[in-house]
A and B are shown apart, each in its own frame.
Chain A
Amino acid sequence: MTGLTSLTGLGLTPLLTGVEVTFWVCAVAAIAGAIGVVTSSKPVYSALSLALVMLALAVIYASLEAGFLFAVQIIVYTGAVLMLFLFVIMLVGVSSREALVDTLRGHRLAACLAGVGLVVLLALAVGQAVTAPAVGLADATAVAGGNVEGLAQLVFHRYVVAFEATAALLITAAVAAMVLAHPKRLKPKPDQSLRLRRRVEAYAEQGVHPGAKPSSGVFARHNSVATPALLPDGSVAPESISDTVASRVQVADPSQLALPLAQTLAAIEGRPGSGPVDSEDSDDSDDDLAEDLVDDPAEDAAEDPRPGPAEDSAEDLTDGSAEDPATPASPTVPDPPLTPDSPLSPDPAGPDQEGGSDD
């Protein structure tokens, strides 16, 4: 940029100056982009074409000794405004297309003709607008010490009122955007008393327990939300597990969780000297537990004729004092959609397990 101007400043007159090259390249790009904006069937393409136009214009600004505007054009327009456009396009649907046929007969043709007419008219008008050669901004910027400084002087002196007004405009626009974007509530927000009343009504009509749901189960090694709480009789409290977790078959088997403790207690009571073995056993059993957890019931059914993990665990608890009854409503019962080829087969209990064991 400065090099080009200095070249002309040297008195040389090149066949094609850098400014002209820049102009022609950018002009072609800008017009192509503009046509792209107008003709693209998808808004995303239009937005990207608009980005092309703005970048081309930014370069032209630079060639016209408007360095600050070059930056602002890229940052504000290409960076901020266009990104905003893209956000909104994503928000309202990327793939929305327009019907090809206009509902107004002849409107498109008339509009194009009128546009051509406007081009001709304005070109005729501006063709006579400038007669003198360009003065250039070298003197103006030299006085202030640079393009940005020159603009700053103008903005903060002569145009300071307008500048402040634009500041107010931007603030107002921001507030307005928030107000506009804020969705209106369809119903009033339920307050505490309303929620409590609903809870008691549900208890009165359907017998739903009005109190707080039981928290998830707490074991020595497990306190994740996937751990069900146990009722005093040893059965699982279904309410202690979120439905979401239950539907994804990520619920830990409490009997397996309780197994190490039971083994430890048994060891303490019955065999005081076999601690290390117990610990190894417990590790093994831990692995088994993990396997059981991840195993799909279909696989289980294929491998062994045992009806389900609950019985499996009950069988494992051979010397456990508590004979668990079969719990058909156990959350561990999987949902039918979970077929063996389902992609969803990570180890959900993995992070909860201290051993960090995997398959």
Chain B
Amino acid sequence: MTVFALTPTPATGLQVYAWLLIALPLGVAALLLVGGKRTDSWGHFLATLAPIASFGLALAYFIDLLAVTPDQRAIVVPVYTWIASSAWQISVSLLLDPLSMVFVLLVTGVGSLIHLYSLGYMAHDPNRRRFFAYLNLFVAAMLILVLADNYLVLFVGWEGVGLASFLLISFWQERPSAAAAGKKAFIVNRVGDLGLIIAIFTMLAMFGSSSFSSVNAGADQLTSFWAGLLGFLLLLGACGKSAQVPLQTWLLDAMEGPTPVSALIHAATMVTAGVYLVVRSGAIYAQAPAAQLAVAIVGTVTLLVGAWIGCAKDDIKKVLAGSTMSQIGYMMLAAGIGPAGYAFAIFHLLTHGFFKANMFLGAGSVMHATGDDVDMRHYGALRRALPITFVTFAAGYLAIIGFPFFSGFYSKDHIIEAAFEHQPALGLLALIGAGVTAFYMTRLMALTFFGQSRWRPGVHPHESPATMWIPLVLLALGSFGGGMVLNGWIGRWLAPIGALAPENASWAPHFTPIGWATLAVVAAGVALGWLLFGRRPVPDQAPTAVSPLTRWGRRDLYVDSLYDAALVRPGLGLAQAVALVDQRAVDGAVEGSAHLTQSVGRQLGRLQNGYVRSYGLTMLIGLLAVGVALILGQLV
């Protein structure tokens, strides 16, 4: 039996101050939001320092964990008792273990770089202070999410990142499209949250506790029905947060937010929370093979859908968003494989965090240079104007297509291989996805940095300031070397929480038949992309005579239209019907009774004419009625 969690040991020494990880960004966010305009001049510097400080603290704790033996790498830090009832004792406690530590480092590390980048990117925004406050709020919520030692506190962080995501997507709230996108993300996420919260209720009912240790300990006593139910509910939550099919629609619209937000929240960290949730709940999925298979299928479908959409879009950020969906699909596929895939899922999550943040920030740099234009058909030949951006973006590009020795090469190949071992059909689809990924990323590169200049009049591209390109360089280094560094280590590191260490865990690339096949597919994709977009002049306007595949891709596979027809319109109709019922029936009843009361009152008021003798007559009639009643009562 796989052990999915270590028995946590209580915190000792400075470990009890682990809550500072969260408190620093949270306090700064509160300070900036409450402090108002007084903090306008220096608030963003403070806000940048907060995640850096958290990163430093996280590094210290990470080293702390490295120093002990693997079976002791779980430390619980109690903060306070949240709910103390006879049935449930729910405490707010932080769990420092290999999995959460990886996430903390990713969130604070990438977060720090993106804060740094935002110093330059948002330098001229009038609401810069609010932006940084929201970013810090996001970092704090994300840390709560990954540091929680039970599902209920995790849910607090889960909702916190949802809130921060909503606030940041609609940060430019004066744009109707941004406001609508934030609303859409919020509502679609609620669907997923429903699954998660019902799962938490179920856990409280089944185990009497929602802590990871209790759930892990009690999971193997679950019947297959309850385990499957929990598995599907958690998958629903993960789909919502990680933009997996069928709840993927919000992520493309979320690109309305500022580009650093897209990099941090909608590429590197928040959208991977679903993967974290699935990996965290490994004990449950171990009892629920059907749910596990569903995770893998969802991941596979999403990786193909995301890649498809990425091929068809002209908006650079939407291409990247599609690729994000696709890469998270890979992670879900890995997580759906089971303990054998957990380490690969987290591995790919980390490398993806590097190279996707890298590419998003690079895209931001391109937009910065071209006057916030996002249409790749208006770019072209930017490699000379933006040399640093080009080089760093290229590192990200090579990483995502799985070019040998770049980080994606290690992580994605592992997933494809594991998928082939687990289920050849899934592996084949993942392999096709890798080829498509290579195709659309090559298209992106060709349209943006090569070919002829198609700049709009008045656009004079220039390289970004240092605060923007320094993070790019650092992330490019991560994109290049992250895979090599982590490849041999991540499996062992995550082994204590249930991930099976890959047998071929070494820094050296291994070349299996599947690996070669992957490389071949990727090369084919690159070649096709280059032939189609790199060698031929690119039309300035998007061609209309395109294949149905492209048309579907441009319309996000018509999922929005489907949801609009299947859910939104019926919902609106229902709301209108309810409003009509309210107006006619409820209001009619209320107003009718009011009118009735009024008219009865008016009639009765006629009796109150002010004449004493009239009142006397009324009294006499009442007296007679009472007397008659008494006599009749005697008779009966």
Contacts and interface: CB of A to CB of B under 8 A. Distances in A.
Partners in one complex: yes
A121 B620 contact: no
A125 B632 CA distance: 12
B614 A107 contact: yes
B459 interface: no
Interface in A102-147: 103-104, 107, 110-111, 114-115, 117-118, 121, 124-125
A111 B628 contact: no
B12 interface: no
Contact of A114 (B611, B620, B631): B620
A114 B625 CA distance: 10
Given A114-B621, A114-B624, A121 B613 contact: no
Interface string B601-636: 000000001010110010011011001100100000
Interface in B318-333: none
A125 B627 CA distance: 9
A117 B617 contact: no
B295 to A, nearest CB: 86
A284 B631 CA distance: 96
Contacts of A124: 631
B617 A107 contact: yes
B631 to A, nearest CB: 7
A115 B613 CA distance: 13
Nearest to A103: B611
B613 A118 contact: no
A101 B70 CA distance: 110
Interface residues of B, number: 12
A111 B617 CA distance: 6
B627 A111 contact: no
B617 A125 contact: no
Contacts of A103: 611
Contacts of B611: 103-104
Contacts of A104: 609, 611, 613-614
Given A104-B609, A104-B611, A121 B617 contact: no
A295 to B, nearest CB: 63
B614 A118 contact: no
Given A104-B614, A107-B617, A114-B621, A121 B609 contact: no
Contacts of B620: 111, 114-115, 118
A121 B627 contact: yes
Nearest to A115: B620
Contacts of A110: 617
Contacts of A114: 617, 620-621, 624
Contacts of B624: 114, 117-118, 121
B223 to A, nearest CB: 79
Contacts of B621: 114
Interface string B555-574: 00000000000000000000
A103 B617 CA distance: 15
B618 to A, nearest CB: 10
Contacts of A115: 620
Contacts of A118: 620, 623-624
A111 B613 contact: yes
**Interface of chain B, helix or strand or loop or mixed?**
helix
Interface of A: 103-104, 107, 110-111, 114-115, 117-118, 121, 124-125
A121 B614 contact: no
B394 to A, nearest CB: 102
A125 B609 CA distance: 33
A117 B617 CA distance: 12
A114 B614 CA distance: 12
A45 B56 CA distance: 114
Nearest to B623: A118
8 contacts: A104-B609, A111-B613, A114-B617, A114-B624, A118-B620, A118-B624, A121-B628, A125-B631
B635 to A, nearest CB: 11
B627 A107 contact: no
A340 to B, nearest CB: 57
A117 B620 CA distance: 10
Nearest to A120: B624
B609 to A, nearest CB: 7
A315 B631 CA distance: 101
A167 to B, nearest CB: 31
Contact of B613 (A107, A117, A125): A107
A118 B614 CA distance: 17
A-B pairs, 3 with minimum CB distance: A121-B627, A114-B620, A117-B624
Contacts of B617: 107, 110-111, 114
A344 B383 CA distance: 140
Interface string B491-532: 000000000000000000000000000000000000000000
B633 to A, nearest CB: 13
A117 B623 CA distance: 10
A164 B163 CA distance: 86
A103 B609 CA distance: 11
B456 to A, nearest CB: 89
Given A103-B611, A118-B624, 5 more contacts: A104-B614, A107-B613, A114-B620, A118-B620, A124-B631
Contacts of B627: 121, 125
A115 B621 CA distance: 9
A175 to B, nearest CB: 27
Contacts of B623: 118
A121 B629 CA distance: 11
A103 B621 CA distance: 20
Nearest to B631: A124
B418 to A, nearest CB: 99
Contacts of B614: 104, 107
A16 B631 CA distance: 34
A37 to B, nearest CB: 16
Interface in B545-593: none
B306 to A, nearest CB: 86
Nearest to B624: A117
Nearest to B616: A111
Nearest to B619: A114
Nearest to B609: A104
Contacts of B609: 104
A125 B633 CA distance: 13
A48 to B, nearest CB: 23
Contacts of A111: 613, 617, 620
A104 B617 CA distance: 12
A103 B620 CA distance: 20
A117 B613 CA distance: 17
A107 B620 CA distance: 13
A121 B632 CA distance: 11
Contacts of A117: 624
Contacts of B631: 121, 124-125
Nearest to A114: B620
A198 B623 CA distance: 65
Nearest to B627: A121
A111 B616 CA distance: 9
Interface in B459-502: none
A85 B330 CA distance: 112
B611, B627, B631: most-surrounded residue (chain A CB, <10 A): B627
Contacts of A107: 613-614, 617
A25 B589 CA distance: 66
A98 to B, nearest CB: 12
A118 B624 CA distance: 7
